[in-house]
Amino acid sequence: MSYFSRHVFFCLNQRDNGENACAGHGAQAGFDRCKSRVKAAGLAGPGQVRVNKAGCLDRCAGGPVAVVYPEAVWYTFVDNDDIDEIVDSHLVRGQIVERLLLPPSVGK
């Protein structure tokens, strides 16, 4: 058994040169919401879920983005409702939220 069963990485990258970056699309708010919801659901801690900040995940065109490992499921999100659905469906029940999947063709 690994130390955490799942990691959720949120790209919080900021670019000062005007290029597209997740930080400019509400990534920090999504991270904060997810971390709070995971903790409130009793999912945080060893053997469970860890919500992490990440630098650029190289999927800027779909930002903001988050990825759930070990499944390697990439999500895009817009608001708290999207984050809540990812937590409730994927992290609690193990069901991928199809409508929020980031298409594999979306890159930088």
pLDDT in tens, 87-108: 999 999 999 999 999 999 988 8
Give the DSSP per-residue string, 4-36: -SEEEEEE----TTS---GGGGTHHHHHHHHHH
Q: What angle do CA 52, 57, 60 make, to 5 degrees?
A: 125
Predicted local distance difference test score (pLDDT) of residue 15: 86
pLDDT at residue 53 in the model: 97
Task: Say how far apart CA 60 and CA 76 lie, in whole Å.
Answer: 10
Domains and CATH numbers, the chain: 6-100 (3.40.30.10)
Q: Give pLDDT < 70 ranges for the chain.
A: 1
| Confidence at residue 19, expressed as pLDDT on a 0 to 100 scale | 80
pTM of the model: 0.94
